[in-house]
Amino acid sequence: MGTNRLAIVDRAHGRQPVVDPASGRLIVMNGEIYNHEELRAELEAGGHHFRTASDTETVLAAFGAWGPACVDRLDGIFAFVIHDPATGSSFAARDHLGIKPLYMATAGGWVAFASERKAFIGLMAGVTELAPGHVWADGRISRYAGFQAAHDPAVIGPDPVGRCRALLDAAVRRQVQTDLPLAVIFSGGLDSTILLHLATRHHPDVTAFSVGTEDSEDLAFARAFCAERGIRHIVTGFAPEMIPRRIRGAIFDGEFFEPVDISDMISMSAVHATVRANGFKVAIAGDGADELFAGYDMFRTAADPYALTTYRVGNLHRTDLQRTDRASMTHSVECRVPFLDRALVDFAMALPFDLKLRGGVEKWILREAFRGEIADVMIDRPKIRMPEGIGIRDRIFRHLAHDRPGRELTLPPVTIDTPQVRNALLHYLDFGFDAPASRYKSVGTDYAPGGYFRFDATSEATATAI
């Protein structure tokens, strides 16, 4: 067992694998447990003696005290594997929404785990993914957490706007508790503005990081907000000439082939590289807000918006969360996602849709929760998709329509509806990844029949012609 550790908690002593001297069990973990100090105090009261202050040791002790049920006590983002040499037994678990990845493969009686698919290239085929909210115990997989969108007045309470504000504030407060400086990935849109506002309330050393072209709309709003609040702001410029040399890297690092994920990966990898270059190891970002609070146009026309919410939240681990994890961890940055705090997810999934979409305004409850704390010019900003907001528009899509590897490869029998999907999948296979059994995104639930974006006639023709 081994790990390439990004040291954040107990940086001097938290080396992995962590071994429990009493039982001999070992653990390796990727992630962060926000309530590890509370769990540690409870375990110490029960007689457990800790040798380090690391959250990884706390998880190992929790497993020793409570067994597999310990996962229900963990507030955080995690993927971990515990092995008991004395019995040969092993246990693996992944957090409630798959914020942290965990892959596995079997061959010749062996089972191997890793945080990335690329760890198996050339070694083992048939790589599978431990689903979010699931545990693996000696080959048996079971679910411990799941989310279904359905209106539930008992969950949302008598003051849903106030409860929304309180839950998000509490989530940010827990997730920014570090003695390291904090980066906020700041687009200048509603979600990241709220996070930056709350982060500066709960952490003494916050810097905002943005990416975009000089004339981008998001960047103008981001600069104005940071200047008004006196928040340090670092901007990563984005130039069109960066695109050709970064497409294959985005596919390899991100381990996906959906064009919109590749487009977002290129820009987010650039900003996380700047985060790390400025000495930061911990960041927060606004992933999940659009899925939870109906931020996309598709929610307006959905026949069953609750079912669409359930699907979109449940699919995050293969799309936005995978992109955020790879874009950040490629540069040795841990990016946390407060909107996907488990208590906040439970609350948002229980909301009636007229609190999410009201009077033609998306994310209505989220806007009202922070109206008065944040200027209306930021609260009332409409949703803008990332490529448009940062000013790159369809440049990555256009290039991907013609960018393909030099050798011929056999495409798997999955839906290929644009040249971008075809070429991205060819690059993906060229790296040696297993052929996917299905797409990660589909028409009607992830994007409209005409595609993701509508910029101009040229873009439309390029996006739809194969």
pLDDT, tens only, 156-194: 999 999 999 999 999 999 999 999 999 999 999 999 999
What gap in Å lies between CA 328 and CA 269, rounded to an integer? 7
Amino acid residing at 51: R
Average pLDDT for 249-265:
94
Burial 219-230 (b: 16+ CB within 10 A, else e): bebbbebbeebe
pLDDT(429) > 70: yes
Output the CA–CA distances (angstroms, integers) from residue 266 to 33, 348, 403, 444, in the order listed: 29, 30, 15, 25
Count of alpha carbons within 13 angstroms of residue 389, beta-carbon side: 21
Q: What does the angle CA 182 – CA 237 – CA 425 come to, to the nearest 5 degrees?
A: 90
What gap in Å lies between CA 361 and CA 267, rounded to an integer? 27
Using only the alpha carbons of the chain, give its radius of gyration: 22
pLDDT at 428: 97
The CATH T-level fold of domain 153-393 is: Rossmann fold (3.40.50)
Tokens of 333: 């940055």
Average pLDDT for 17-39:
95
pTM of the predicted model as reported, rounded to 2 decimal places: 0.94
pLDDT(7) > 70: no
pLDDT tens-digit profile of 40-53? 999 999 999 999 98
pLDDT(421) > 80: yes
pLDDT at 458: 39
Tokens of 159: 């003051």
pLDDT tens-digit profile of 76-92? 999 999 999 999 999 99
The reply, when asked if residue 55 is annotated as ligand binding, is yes
pLDDT at 124: 87
pLDDT at 450: 62
The CATH T-level fold of domain 18-143 is: Glutamine Phosphoribosylpyrophosphate, subunit 1, domain 1 (3.60.20)
pLDDT at 462: 38
Query: Residue 112 pairs with which residues in a beta bridge?
Result: 105
Range scoring the smallest mean pLDDT among 60-64, 74-78, 299-303, 395-399: 395-399
Three state DSSP letters for the chain:
CCCCCCCCCCCCCCCCCEECCCCCCEEEEEEEECCHHHHHHHHHHCCCCCCCCCHHHHHHHHHHHHHHHHHHHCCEEEEEEEEECCCCEEEEEECCCCCCCCEEEEECCEEEEECCHHHHCCCCCCCEECCCCEEEECCEEEECCCCCCCCCHHHHCCCHHHHHHHHHHHHHHHHCCCCCCEEEECCCCHHHHHHHHHHHHHCCCEEEEEEECCCCHHHHHHHHHHHHHCCEEEEEECCHHHHHHHHHHHHHHHCCCCHHHHHHHHHHHHHHHHHHHCCCCEEECCCCHHHHCCCCCHHHHCCCHHHHHHHHHHCHHHCHHHHHHHHHHCCCCEEECHHHCHHHHHHHHCCCHHHCCECCECCHHHHHHHECCECHHHHCCCCCCHHHHCCCCCHHHHHHCCCCCCCCCCCCCCCCCCHHHHHHHHHHHHCCCCCCCCCCCCECCCEECCECCCCCHHHHHHHHCC
Amino acid residing at 52: T
What gap in Å lies between CA 310 and CA 292, rounded to an integer? 9
pLDDT(66) > 80: yes
pLDDT at 60: 97
pLDDT at 389: 65
Phi, psi for 78 (deg, rounded to 5)? -160, 155
pLDDT tens-digit profile of 104-130? 999 888 899 999 999 999 998 899 999
pLDDT band of residue 301 (cuts 50, 70, 90) is very high
Which positions ≥6 away from 423 have C-beta within 8 Å?
A: 400, 401, 402, 403, 404
pLDDT band of residue 447 (cuts 50, 70, 90) is confident
pLDDT(465) > 70: no
What gap in Å lies between CA 40 and CA 60, rounded to an integer? 11
Phi, psi for 182 (deg, rounded to 5)? -115, 130
pLDDT(93) > 60: yes
Whether the Cβ atoms of residue 190 and residue 379 lie closer than 8 Å to each other? yes
Q: What is the dihedral sign for C-alpha 185, 190, 195, 197? A: positive
pLDDT(338) > 70: yes
pLDDT(153) > 70: yes
Tokens of 160: 């849903």
pLDDT tens-digit profile of 196-243? 999 999 999 999 999 988 888 889 999 999 999 999 999 998 877 888
Omega prior to 17 cis, within 30 of 0: yes
pLDDT at 459: 40
pLDDT at 320: 95
Phi, psi for 350 (deg, rounded to 5)? -95, -5
pLDDT at 261: 93
What gap in Å lies between CA 442 and CA 448, rounded to an integer? 9
First to last CA, the chain: 46
Mean pLDDT across the chain, nearest whole number? 92
Q: Where are the domains of the chain?
A: 18-143, 153-393
pLDDT band of residue 2 (cuts 50, 70, 90) is confident
pLDDT tens-digit profile of 375-416? 999 999 988 776 666 767 688 888 899 998 988 899 999 999
pLDDT at 453: 54
More confident residue, 361 or 464: 361
Which positions ≥6 away from 449 have C-beta within 8 Å?
A: 443
Percentage of the chain surpassing pLDDT 90?
A: 79
pLDDT tens-digit profile of 269-279? 999 999 999 99
In Å, the largest CA–CA distance within the chain is: 69
More confident residue, 451 or 350: 350
Phi, psi for 20 (deg, rounded to 5)? -85, 115
